[in-house]
């Protein structure tokens, strides 16, 4: 096929597609789709036809001056005159296809001349009423048709009068394919919500002994633990409609809109009962009233007041349960949390090691794993990770394996994914000079040796001097042997020693200190201050807590309570914090001085390899112990 034929075919395809007549594409069943009628294409065709009609289908009319028209009239050449308000049309005798027109002028003797010439003539009547309709009413009607068409296309949530309509996304029973089988790691929260499913499925079972179905369930927990996912699973298990809306979607710049949307949401939910209303990020509208430092009754407080009223007047026997999620329960208004509104508060906490393993099993169902992958060990390496973090790790590992054109996802891919989440991306283009590289190697070696030398620190998993993240020039990764929920005084002192290991190594080797220990010193100071002021672990100050937790729900925003102790006691606290840090500093100095040979060997090896596993460090320490006299 020549290029010209291809261009003609492409042009024909475009025209057929423009007018909805293209059958070249097949539908899902293999048959060509039906042509779709489009009103705008039809209107465009009619306008083009009307515009082009006079050029192709109408007889040609010759326009002549009025003087020439009078001359033809006097000579008796014209016939069939039509005298209009603005123009005069006529034809030549014997030549009906030759039409002429001229501008009508004020000529009182024209009619007399026509009568004398015995020419057939007629007048043209102008309907002013029809002209008025066409010039005024028709454009207005077209404008309103266009307006209603645009409003229909924009949807019901975009009109001028739709501000009071809620913006909740409604999921029907068949739209939610999520169940409790798709969730893992939050067994206690799941058990609490299984009872909610029973309330919605068989409400009479709970009411037969006089019990009352709870009005609201508040899901509380850190970000990424699966609060929204859990709420959708409840709706999927109960097979009821699910109204999902964010707290920020209630509030607009117009006063009263949020309250109107709350009323509309509850009214719509009552008509769909039994159902679930889920408000994500409840703290956006549920913040304690009176926290506005500028005063006044703002729009957010009106929205909260309406929510409280609606929850009070809501009948639980209608089968509507309100669920909400927040990760900032301390700032919520106390009126929201009282019995009768959010009757139950379900904690969705970080998963333990078994929960993390179960979550990894769910997220790796569709991932091709290497046979040597042990999900239990991966779960042990991710303490404190939530479900969203674990899903991100699995996805990152799969992408890394695909980027390296591997057939399966291997353990090294998971190692890199975990390090990305913990420490950030590798800075391969960041080149350190030899001096800085040596300082970082000794710094990280100091951390690692102290971590392996103290009794209660977590074992070292990996040491690296490859820059990562924003400012990390190196890192020492420790792997807990088990999940911990309490910390003893000895464990905190050992953790304090590990944090100071890098700074002390720089002092011993270079007799100089660098800025690399800034984050270590900050974390060490926080631990020491907490031991003194919160945990009562100071022999000098005794069993007294000197810091009160911030009660944000009763205080204006940005306001924090003052000290509840004297300046003399504050000086004692500062001295005690300094004493704890100084004692840990001396302890680490003695520890690294005794292991100076291992420190030098490890730093040299780390400078060469840039990354060392914990097993290699432990072998070096064991060798050094056997060589002692």
pLDDT tens track for 32-52: 444 444 556 556 666 665 555
**Taking the alpha carbons of 110, 113, 114, 119 in that order, is the dihedral positive or negative?**
negative
| pLDDT tier for residue 199 given thresholds of 50, 70 and 90 | confident
Picking from 324, 558, 591, the residue whose alpha carbon sits closest to that of residue 457 is 591
**In angstroms, rounded to a whole number, what is the distance separating the alpha carbons of residues 239 and 432?**
59
Q: What is the pTM of this model?
A: 0.64
The pLDDT of residue 136: 65
Active site residue 198: no
Look at 53-57, 210-214, 224-228, 429-433 and tell me which has the smallest mean pLDDT.
53-57
Contact criterion met (CB below 8 Å) for 386 and 408: no
Contact criterion met (CB below 8 Å) for 591 and 450: yes
Interval 147-179: pLDDT, tens: 676 666 544 444 444 545 556 667 665 667 778
Which one is the CATH code of 353-423: 1.10.240.10, 1.10.510.10, 1.10.8.60, 1.10.10.10?
A: 1.10.8.60
Contact criterion met (CB below 8 Å) for 284 and 329: no
Query: Span 61-126: which CATH code?
Result: 3.30.720.210
* DSSP element (H, E) containing 170: strand 169-171
Interval 120-155: pLDDT, tens: 777 665 555 655 665 667 677 777 777 676 666 544
Catalytic residue among 444, 452, 506, 576: 444
The pLDDT of residue 166: 56
Residue 423: other Cβ atoms inside 10 A: 17
Interval 282-330: pLDDT, tens: 888 888 876 555 444 577 788 888 888 888 766 555 667 888 999 888 8
Q: At what angle do helices 489-510 and 596-609 cross, to 10 degrees?
A: 80
**Taking the alpha carbons of 75, 80, 86, 87 in that order, is the dihedral positive or negative?**
negative
Section 347-360 average pLDDT? 90
Residue 118 CB partners (closer than 8 Å, separation 6+): none
Residue 604, CA atoms < 13 Å, CB-side half-sphere:
7
**Domain 434-627 part of CATH 3.40.50.300:** no
Residue 202 has φ and ψ, to the nearest 5°, of -130, 75
Which one is the CATH code of 169-347: 1.10.357.10, 3.40.50.360, 3.40.50.280, 3.40.50.300?
A: 3.40.50.300
**In angstroms, rounded to a whole number, what is the distance separating the alpha carbons of residues 428 and 432?**
11
Q: Give the 3-state secondary structure of 181-231.
A: HHCCCCHHHHHHHHHHHHHHHCHHHHHCCCCCCCCEEEEECCCCCCHHHHH
More confident residue, 290 or 214: 214
pLDDT at 526 over 90: yes
DSSP notation for 227-284: HHHHHHHHHHHHT--EEEEEGGGS--SSTTHHHHHHHHHHHHHHHT-SEEEEEESTHH
């Amino acid at each position: 096929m020549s290029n010209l034929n291809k261009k003609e075919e492409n042009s024909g395809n475009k025209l057929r597609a423009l007018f909805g007549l293209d059958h070249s594409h097949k539908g899902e069943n293999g048959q060509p789709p039906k042509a779709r009628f489009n009103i705008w294409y039809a209107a465009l065709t009619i306008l083009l036809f009307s515009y082009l009609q006079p050029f192709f289908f109408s007889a040609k009319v010759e326009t002549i001056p009025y003087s020439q028209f009078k001359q033809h009239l006097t000579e008796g050449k014209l016939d069939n005159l039509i005298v209009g308000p603005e123009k005069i049309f006529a034809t030549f005798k014997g030549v009906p296809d030759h039409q002429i027109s001229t501008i009508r002028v004020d000529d009182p003797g024209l009619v007399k001349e026509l009568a004398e010439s015995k020419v057939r003539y007629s007048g043209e009547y102008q309907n002013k009423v029809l002209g008025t309709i066409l010039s005024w009413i028709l454009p207005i009607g077209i404008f309103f048709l266009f307006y209603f068409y645009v409003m229909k296309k924009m949807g019901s949530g975009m009109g001028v009068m739709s501000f009071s309509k809620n913006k909740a996304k409604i999921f029907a029973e068949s739209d939610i394919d999520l169940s409790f089988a798709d969730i893992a790691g939050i067994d206690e929260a799941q058990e609490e919500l299984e009872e909610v499913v029973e309330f919605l499925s068989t409400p009479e079972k709970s009411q037969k002994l006089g019990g009352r179905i709870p009005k609201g369930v508040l899901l509380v927990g850190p970000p990424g633990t699966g609060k929204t996912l859990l709420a959708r699973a409840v709706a999927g298990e109960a097979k009821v409609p699910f109204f999902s809306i964010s707290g920020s979607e209630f509030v607009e710049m117009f006063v009263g809109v949020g309250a109107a949307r709350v009323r509309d949401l509850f009214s719509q939910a009552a008509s769909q009962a039994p159902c679930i209303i889920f408000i994500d990020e409840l703290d956006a509208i549920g913040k304690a009233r009176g926290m506005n430092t500028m005063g006044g009754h703002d729009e957010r407080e009106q929205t909260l007041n309406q929510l409280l009223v609606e929850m009070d007047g809501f009948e639980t026997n209608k089968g509507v349960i309100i669920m909400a999620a927040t990760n900032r329960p301390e700032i919520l208004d106390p009126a929201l949390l009282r019995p009768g509104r959010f009757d139950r508060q379900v904690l969705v906490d970080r998963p333990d090691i078994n929960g993390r393993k179960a979550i990894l099993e769910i997220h790796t169902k569709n991932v091709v794993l290497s046979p040597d992958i042990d999900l239990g060990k991966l779960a042990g390496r991710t303490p404190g990770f939530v479900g969203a973090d674990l899903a991100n790790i699995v996805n990152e590992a799969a992408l890394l394996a695909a980027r390296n054109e591997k057939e399966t996802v291997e353990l090294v891919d998971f190692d890199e994914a975990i390090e990305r989440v913990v420490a950030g991306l590798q800075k391969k283009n960041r080149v350190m000079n030899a001096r800085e590289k040596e300082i970082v190697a000794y710094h990280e070696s100091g951390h690692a040796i102290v971590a392996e030398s103290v009794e209660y620190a977590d074992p070292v998993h990996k040491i690296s001097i490859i820059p990562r993240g924003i400012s990390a020039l190196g890192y020492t990764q420790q792997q807990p042997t088990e999940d911990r929920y309490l910390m003893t005084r000895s464990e905190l002192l050992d953790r304090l020693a590990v944090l100071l290991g890098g700074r002390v190594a720089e002092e011993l080797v270079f007799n100089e200190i660098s800025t690399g220990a800034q984050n270590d010193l900050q974390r060490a100071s926080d631990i020491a201050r907490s031991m003194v002021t919160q945990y009562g672990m100071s022999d000098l100050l005794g069993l007294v807590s000197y810091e009160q937790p911030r009660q944000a729900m009763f205080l204006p925003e940005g306001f924090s309570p003052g000290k509840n102790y004297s300046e003399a006691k504050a000086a004692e606290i500062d001295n005690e914090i300094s004493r704890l840090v100084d004692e840990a500093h001396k302890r680490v100095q003695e520890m690294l001085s005794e292991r100076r040979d291992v420190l030098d060997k490890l730093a040299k090896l780390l400078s060469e390899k840039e990354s060392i596993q914990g097993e290699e460090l432990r072998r070096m320490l064991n060798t050094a112990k056997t060589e002692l006299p």
